Chain A
């Protein structure tokens, strides 16, 4: 697919919520985790604006702590709204996978 950015943006949002739901994390760590999961090119330049948007929409919230390099670092965790959004994403994703697979394997 030549232009899959819009599809991937929605998926990335769900994946970010899922990672944060498992463990409180910070921006750079999240980037590395996503890269390790294989989201290499996709996260380039999109993760930080996405985190800001999720925070603004009250899906995640942050807590400031001192990092090992002495800087103030924001650690993100899920809000109740975020938890609900993640559940909706999981339901939607499961259904989407089944429906798409049905079509592809027909």
Chain B
């Protein structure tokens, strides 16, 4: 960590408030730079208020959810939400493309990859992440401390119980072999198209920036 003070030095309500805000920001469709900036600013403000014994309420008000929503409101535009979604999709496509290309090179799957492998990967990595974010965002402010961890675990397990049977069905019935070369080409083509869309929408995206948001 670059800062000489970490959030562990915040105690009691100050620490709880900071963790709540950080958790909420992680589920929001905002840029990582902006998220980091808000975390730094609030850490500094909370640390100063803790030092001066000024109440947490002075900084974040009575309703922490309302406070967080006010922060991200001007930044969480529809355009940014689309870009964030496409970023995540491009990362998934890149991983599938690289796996199929490597498999093609080393002959792991003998030139053909099952549709089920790709579907399971997409379902577990891409969809699971978004579903988890969605439910966690809805529930995160309802619980504090240990209950918050219980809430995350409960939502995760619940989603796993929903997704595992789907994985099973896909693995059992989705055994359709696809040429790895075609997969690589489709992934590469889709990656470029999505990259162009992101460039059009955002303007400052580099091809390697998709690998930063995992």
Complex Cα distance, B4 from A23, in Å, reads: 27
Q: Is the CB of A69 within 8 A of B5?
A: yes
Interface size on A, residues (CB 8 A): 23
Q: Nearest-CB distance from B203 to chain A (Å)?
A: 16
Interface of chain B, main secondary structure:
helix
User: In the complex, what residue of chain B is closest to A43 when comparing beta carbons?
Assistant: B58
Q: Does B63 contact A (CB under 8 A)?
A: yes
Q: Does A83 contact B (CB under 8 A)?
A: no
A48 — which chain B residues lie within 8 A by C-beta?
Answer: 41-42, 45, 59-60, 67, 71
B5 — which chain A residues lie within 8 A by C-beta?
Answer: 69-71
Interface size on B, residues (CB 8 A): 30
Q: Is the CB of B61 within 8 A of A44?
A: yes
B-binding residues in A (CB < 8 A): 26-28, 31-32, 35, 43-49, 52-53, 56, 67, 69-74
B63 — which chain A residues lie within 8 A by C-beta?
Answer: 45
Q: Give chain B interface residues in 52-81, CB to chain A under 8 Å.
A: 52, 54, 57-63, 66-67, 70-71, 73-75
Q: Does B13 contact A (CB under 8 A)?
A: no
Tell which of B40, B59, B60, B74 touches A53, judged by Cβ atoms closer than 8 Å. B74
B 27-53 binary contact with A (CB < 8 Å = 1; else 0): 000000000001011111101110110
B51 — which chain A residues lie within 8 A by C-beta?
Answer: 69
Complex Cα distance, B161 from A48, in Å, reads: 41
Q: If A44-B57, A45-B60, A45-B61 touch, does A72 touch B40 (CB 8 Å cutoff)?
A: yes
